[in-house]
Amino acid sequence: MNYSKTQACNLKPGATVVGKWHRKKYQIVKLLGSGATGSVYLARCIEGEVALKIGVDSMAITSEVNVLKHFSKVQGQVLGPSLLDVDDLVINQGVLPFYVMEYLKGEQLIEFTSKRGEEWIGILMVQLLGDLDRLHRAGWAFGDLKPDNLIVIGPTPRIRWLDVGGTTLLGRSIKEYTEFFDRGYWGMGSRVAEPSYDLFALVMIMINCMYPKRFDKKGDPLQQLKQAIEMKPGLKPYRNIMLKGIQGKYGDAQVMKKDLMDAIQKKSTYYTKPKHKPSTPPRVRRKEQKKPAKSSYLIEILLVTSFLILAYILYLFGQLM
């Protein structure tokens, strides 16, 4: 195949990639996304559909492969996509590295929350915080944390990572970032890889779910973000947590996760707690007994429905412990 190195990240549907060492064949279906280190494609092979990432910088690709290998050993959980193959593509101009990952089928985060409802934002962020905690304890920061690098799979909704190209060892400079999710862009911290960097980005993901078109920095960043949070009723239950996150007051994902879980449970309890009415005089009570029991029946349905929602939320939390 007569590809130039710049064309290698722009493969056409139907093109075939053959590994130099393992001789496995992958037929390109479509482009899934591009970044600083290469392009990711949906491809087909004998085993089925996979995600194939090809780049021009062998050191960057090797670093990502090492991260994926490491993720597979973090507390026995796969944080990113499963790594399936690592090889080289030989072209006339040289050799291009590529690796093959598990193809995760699902919905983009913002698409999912738009369809299912804003109450899912908190639940999915609890899941993400659990994964970030395991990542941070292993000595890494995600770096380029944004909705584009996240997907929600099913049938029980679960958030997963798509691209680990921005992962950076703690203490080093962030190598990839997207302005809206970068605390350096907002003037609210450095670009050093540390847990608080990812936790700032997580808050911005929550904001992005409510403002899908995003917005630019204007005036005082803290006041601008504070106002953006307060203008959306779906974010108000998490207001204090989000403000602590953007101000760098969380240095531990597990602590932020606990606070978020408490906020969700408090919110759920508020909606499921029956409201006590003042006692009614005997005469009025006898009159009410003669009325149809339609209102009490509706209240019972509401309470049962609310209880089931709370039980499901608690079930999801149980899956993360």
Helices (H), the chain: 58-71, 109-116, 119-137, 195-210, 221-230, 239-246, 253-272, 282-289, 294-320
Q: What is the pLDDT of residue 259?
A: 98
Using DSSP, state whether 265 is helix, strand or coil.
Answer: helix
Catalytic-residue membership of 144: yes
Looking at every residue in the chain, the average pLDDT score rounds to 85
The list of the chain residues with pLDDT below 50 reads: 1-3, 279, 284-294, 296-297, 304, 307
- The Cα–Cα gap between 111 and 155 comes to 16
Q: Which of 144, 163, 182, 198 is catalytic?
A: 144
Residue 53 annotated in ligand binding: yes
Helices (H), 53-118: 58-71, 109-116
The full length of the chain comes to 321
Q: What is the pLDDT of residue 283?
A: 55
Contacts of 73 (CB under 8 A, 6+ apart): none
Q: What is the pLDDT of residue 291?
A: 47
Q: What is the pLDDT of residue 292?
A: 47
Contacts of 1 (CB under 8 A, 6+ apart): 15, 16, 89, 91
Q: What's this model's pTM, rounded to 2 decimal places?
A: 0.79
243 token code pair = 């403000």
- Helices (H), strands (E): how many in the chain? 9, 11
Q: What is the pLDDT of residue 301?
A: 52
* Cβ(151)–Cβ(104) below 8 Å: yes
Q: What is the pLDDT of residue 3?
A: 45
With residues binned 3-state (H G I as helix, E B as strand, rest as coil), the percentages for the chain, rounded to 5, are 45, 20, 35
